[in-house]
Amino acid sequence: GAVVSQHPSRVICKSGTSVKIECRSLDFQATTMFWYRQFPKQSLMLMATSNEGSKATYEQGVEKDKFLINHASLTLSTLTVTSAHPEDSSFYICSASLSNTGELFFGEGSRLTVL
Amino acid sequence: GENVEQHPSTLSVQEGDSAVIKCTYSDSASNYFPWYKQELGKRPQLIIDIRSNVGEKKDQRIAVTLNKTAKHFSLHITETQPEDSAVYFCAATNTGNQFYFGTGTSLTVIP
């Protein structure tokens, strides 16, 4: 299957700082990428849809000024958690779909811990 | 929008027995239904999928069935093994649009 790479896999930061997570499609171009948040033992919660060259589409209840998404190229989308707080601690996962088949592939996920 | 429901939330089976997980969806426009397996702390992995023009698909010990009329699809795992233990998610989408995920099923295969 297609490869989606996410970095970093783990990050610990102090409250009030910002953290950037990168999501790359390694062997295909992705005009659309998705960012999810997953709490322990829960399903994937869609945060936003990242569109190459345009603004991201955020789900209801997700603060766009807090979770900044940039999709500057067909292979890279970034999620920046700004002014992080302990309640932002979570597992963040990106995904991208193949345009020809529609199959969705996930990055490795990034576990964020805000102290 | 689409609403995907998944049952059961937890499932325990003896090694060698079969496991069945069921999902329903609400949007008749959904035409692609993948299943993902997620091990603890890891990414969801696509294990099998089915499109709306097919009623059943099988890949070794894993099979998926789709009933478009009733708007439900199911994952069947036969001859379960301990390494099948994981959380399984169903999803539905109208190709090209966002994916809607079920709430997950935690499967435990008891040796």
Task: Summarize pLDDT for A52-92 with one digit per residue, the tens.
Answer: 888 999 999 999 999 999 998 889 999 999 999 999 999 99
Q: Does A100 or A56 have the greater pLDDT score?
A: A56
Q: Which residues contact B100 (CB under 8 A, 6 or more apart)?
A: B1, B2, B3, B4, B25, B30, B91, B92, B93
Contact B50, B74 (CB under 8 A): no
* Residue labelled with tokens 């190709």: B95
* B93, B104, B106 member nearest A102 (Cβ): B93
Contact A97, A30 (CB under 8 A): yes
DSSP A59: P
Q: Do A93 and B104 touch (CB under 8 A)?
A: no
Average pLDDT of the residues in B12-39? 97
Contact B12, B108 (CB under 8 A): yes
Element (H, E) at B38: strand B32-38
Place B65 in a pLDDT band, splitting at 50, 70 and 90.
very high
pLDDT tens track for A8-36:
999 999 999 999 999 999 989 888 899 99
Percent of chain B's residues with pLDDT above 70: 100
Reduced to 3 states (helix: H, G, I; strand: E, B; else coil), residue B47 is strand
Residues of B in contact with A111 (CB under 8 A): 41
Contact B78, B16 (CB under 8 A): no
For chain A, first and last CA: distance in Å? 36
Average pLDDT of the residues in B53-62? 95
* Residue labelled with tokens 């292979």: A75
Residues of A in contact with B36 (CB under 8 A): 106
Average pLDDT of the residues in B8-13? 97
The residues of B whose Cβ lies within 8 A of any Cβ of A are 32, 34, 36, 41-46, 49, 87, 89, 91, 93, 95-96, 98-99, 101-104, 106
The residues of A whose Cβ lies within 8 A of any Cβ of B are 1, 34, 41-44, 46, 49, 91, 93, 95, 97, 99, 102-109, 111
Contact B1, A46 (CB under 8 A): no
Length in residues, chain A: 115
Place B74 in a pLDDT band, splitting at 50, 70 and 90.
very high
Residue B96 has pLDDT above 80, yes or no: no
Cα A91–Cα B40–Cα A106 angle in degrees, nearest 5: 55
